[in-house]
Every structure is written in C-alpha cells, then in structure tokens.
Structure 1
Amino acid sequence: MPAGRKRKSPEVRRREILDAVIAIGSDSGLDAVSVRDVAERCGVAPGLIHHYFPSMDELLAESFGSWADSSLRQLQEISAGASPRVALALTVANLSPDQRIWHDALSTASRYSQLRARARSLSEDYLAHVEGLVRAGVEVGQFACPDPRESAWRIILVLDGMVAMMHILDLIGRDELATIVGPVVENELDLARGSFTELVQAVLASDGVAAGE
C-alpha cells in the first residue's frame, strides 16, 4: 500500500460498492449492472467485489434493499406532520428519476431469489405507507373510499406506470405528473375534481416542500 494511503474499513468499502450499483442502475437499469463496471467505478479489482458479495443476486439485493429502505424513510420523514392529503401529494411528487430502481428491481427479480424477496418485502412496506395515508385521510374526513387497501393498491399501480413512462421510456414529462395521477386519486378517494391535481402541482412547484394545510 502506498505510503500515506489509509486502508478503507469494510463498512466504508461496502457502502461504496452499494452506492456504485445504484448509480449504474439509475443511469442504465439494474439489469445493466456488472461486477466489472462496479469495480471500475469504485477503483478496485473485480475480485474485491466478489469478496464482499459472492453472487450477483446478493449484490443486487443488498444494493436495492439499502437504497429502498433509505428512500422510504426519507418519504416518511418529509410526510411526517403533514395532513393525509398533503402527505399523499408528497408521495406522488416523489417520483424522481432514481425511482426507476423500484421498477427495475421488480422486472429483474424473476432471475434472482434474494432480490425478489427483498423487492417483495419493500413493496409491502411501500403499500403500508400509502394505505396508512389513505386510512388516515378517511378517519379525518379528507378521503372517502370503501376499501383503503384496494385504493392504495390502485394508486400504487398508477404510480408504477408513471415511473416507467417518465424515467424509462421518456414518454411523459414531470410537468404532466399531476394532471395524469391527480384525476385518478380524485376519483379513487372521492375528492373534488381538480383539487388533488392542484395540490400536487403546488408541491412540485415548491420542489417537494409540503404545502400548508
């Protein structure tokens, strides 16, 4: 080892590897991730990647799981203290380009058992987040729907489709997010026409800062 250069701890090295996988996945998709590319981005030999993650399944599962856990925690943090309507609008407005990782994990998971299990678990956590917002809105009279869980599922399916259209196929712009998802949520949760669309537009205009309500 050259004089003056410190050996990185295993924790730091693992984090660098996980971050490299997500960076490559955000740019090109998880299915484009290779050990060689990860090693090159980290400035190490491919053998070191295998040392920390013996299989591609483990590498993808750990990378996706760490990223998704952090993403969901951040969403919960920015939603904390907001009304159910505003919190749901923040969830919709959170469809940033790196959200394609969710879509990629689901489509790639058929080939990897560990990634599939992690994607399923985290998808259930995301469903619980949206369902919790819907139930809270029903309880305080902001929303109305016969089955909050089914409504949450339908909203999530629309959001998943938007991720593909916006960040993978590049068919829809961010400015169209509110006008496409808004009416769906309004119909699902018995909201006044245009009200949720306007709320999402306000959140997008404020770069994800919760509007007062």
Structure 2
Amino acid sequence: MTEPGDPRFGATHRRFVIPTVISRATIGGSTCQIVVGVLSSGSATQRSQRGELRAELLRIALRGQGLADPCTVGVEHDANGAPALSSPHIGSVSFSYDGIWAVVAISPSEGRIGVDIQMPRRVSPTVLRRFAPDLATRADDKSTYSEFARRWAAREAASKAAGTGLRGELLRTVLPVARAGRDFGATYTVLDGWTFPALSLAHKD
C-alpha cells in the first residue's frame, strides 16, 4: 500500500526541482520513505545539479524517517556500485533517475531495497516480442508504452533489491506481468497512484 504524502516545496532547492512528493509504502514488513522530485527545465543534463537534487531528496527522506540531522549521513557504494548509507543502522537506500525525474527510497530494515522510475516511451515491436510478448500485437498503442514502463521499473527495482543488477540472464528474461510479486530474488510492488511515470519498489531480506 502507498500512502501519498503532501507536496513539500520549502525543503527543496527551487533551482533544481518542482513539486517534491513524499509517500510511504510498506514492503517486506518495512515502511519505506519514497521521495520523488522533478528537475527544473534545463537541469537534467547537468550532473552536478542532479547530484545536488539527489542529496536534497535524500535529506527529505531521512527527515521522514525521524532523523533530526540528516546532513550527517552520507552515501557510500559497494563493489558492485550499489548505494549504502554511511550509517547502516538507519537502513538501506536506493536511487533512480529517468530524464527530469528522480526518486529516493529509504527502508529502516536491514534488508536491501530497490526503487526504479521509468518514463513511458515508444517501444519497438522487436523489444516487445523479446520482453513482453503479450504486448507485441499492440505496439502502436500508447497504453502499451505505459504498461511496458511499469514492467521494466518492476524488474529494475527487483534486481537492485536482489543486488544483481541488470546483467546476464536478467537481460534476457521476460518482464513480470503482475503489479506485485516475487521475481529476480526480491519482492516487488508497483506503487499505487503512479501511472506517469511508472514507479516500483522492491525488497529483499
């Protein structure tokens, strides 16, 4: 279940982002903080601005988890490049970007979480036949692009939570169809209320 939070503007740097939406979702027995932001016009290609946006969204998520001074927490990366909070007792973290959209998720549990955000875009019939064969006959239908984005986000989130990343066999696997389930070694769910862009959260103990 997802509980939409109120849009908050004051805590976010206006140069980089317009509405920041804060939500909560329960997965794997843990209530996670999910913070979604939109880069302001012209900022999406600026890596430094995207990094500052990620840091600000992380601070908002940490405050939502009850941390009084989120600026004391940094982000490290393991050998596979997966992010981890510098204070592991707080929980696990995951990030995702697509175009002007960015999302940060934090779980208080000791398990690993994954989050992914995907903008719907045109998908070729060849790609559909490979990853979502049931959609291949509707290749020119705009609803197909949204459905494909939802499934791709679910797989990305699950692979992040599993710690495998998208490589090898995962790149050849048909995308999951259900809106919630267990795949790629992790439990995943599509967050309610998000149809554009697609947003998915996953967890592994």
Query: Which interval holds the TM-score relative to the shorter structure?
Result: under 0.3
TM-score by length of 2: 0.28
Query: 1 or 2, which has the higher strand percentage?
Result: 2
- Select the structure with the greater relative contact order (CA < 8 A; seq sep ≥ 6): 1
